[in-house]
């Protein structure tokens, strides 16, 4: 994947996360600026999702840990654990919002 392809795919992912948060029915604030998306929860905890263009990765920092996602076979997967991005993000958001939330790109 070249830089242009990465930027297009990564930007689409960040936009899809914003839309999923907007549609989830839970009060989660979000702010996206220049490849960085911050989710802020009622308990003041945050999840930060950002592009790492030189590595062609997406990094996700939660209050519990950090994860690096790579794009392979048309999906984003955690480099270490192998978790699919949307499954991981749903679990992380649910944990920090203290309620069950299922996020997806649709």
pLDDT(40) > 90: yes
The token pair at 57 is: 């990765």
Residues 74, 85 contacting (CB under 8 angstroms): no
Q: Which H or E element spans position 84?
A: none
The residue-averaged pLDDT of 9-24 equals: 95
The residue-averaged pLDDT of 24-33 equals: 93
**Sequence spans of domains, the chain:** 3-97
User: Between 3.30.920.10, 3.90.1150.10, 1.20.1090.10, 3.30.420.40, what CATH number should domain 3-97 receive?
Assistant: 3.30.920.10
Report the alpha-carbon distance of residue 68 to residue 94 in Å, rounded: 19
Report the alpha-carbon distance of residue 57 to residue 86 in Å, rounded: 15
| Phi and psi at residue 15, to the nearest 5° | -65, -40
pLDDT category, 19, cuts 50, 70, 90?
very high
Number of other residues whose CB lies within 10 A of the CB of residue 30: 16
Interaxial angle between packed helices 85-97 and 3-23, expressed in degrees from 0 to 180 and rounded to the nearest 10: 40
DSSP SS3 for 95:
helix
Number of other residues whose CB lies within 10 A of the CB of residue 26: 14
pTM exceeding 0.95: no
| pLDDT, tens only, 55-86 | 999 999 999 899 999 999 999 999 998 999 99
């Amino acid at each position: 994947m070249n830089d242009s392809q990465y930027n297009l795919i990564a930007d689409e992912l960040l936009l899809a996360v914003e839309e999923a948060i907007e549609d989830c029915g839970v009060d989660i604030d979000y702010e996206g600026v220049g490849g960085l998306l911050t989710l802020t929860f009622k308990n003041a905890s945050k999840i930060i999702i950002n592009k790492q263009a030189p590595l062609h990765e997406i990094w996700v920092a939660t209050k519990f840990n950090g994860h690096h996602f790579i794009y392979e076979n048309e999906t984003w997967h955690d480099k270490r654990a192998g978790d699919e991005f949307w499954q991981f993000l749903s679990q992380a958001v649910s944990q920090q919002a203290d309620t069950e939330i299922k996020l997806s790109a649709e």
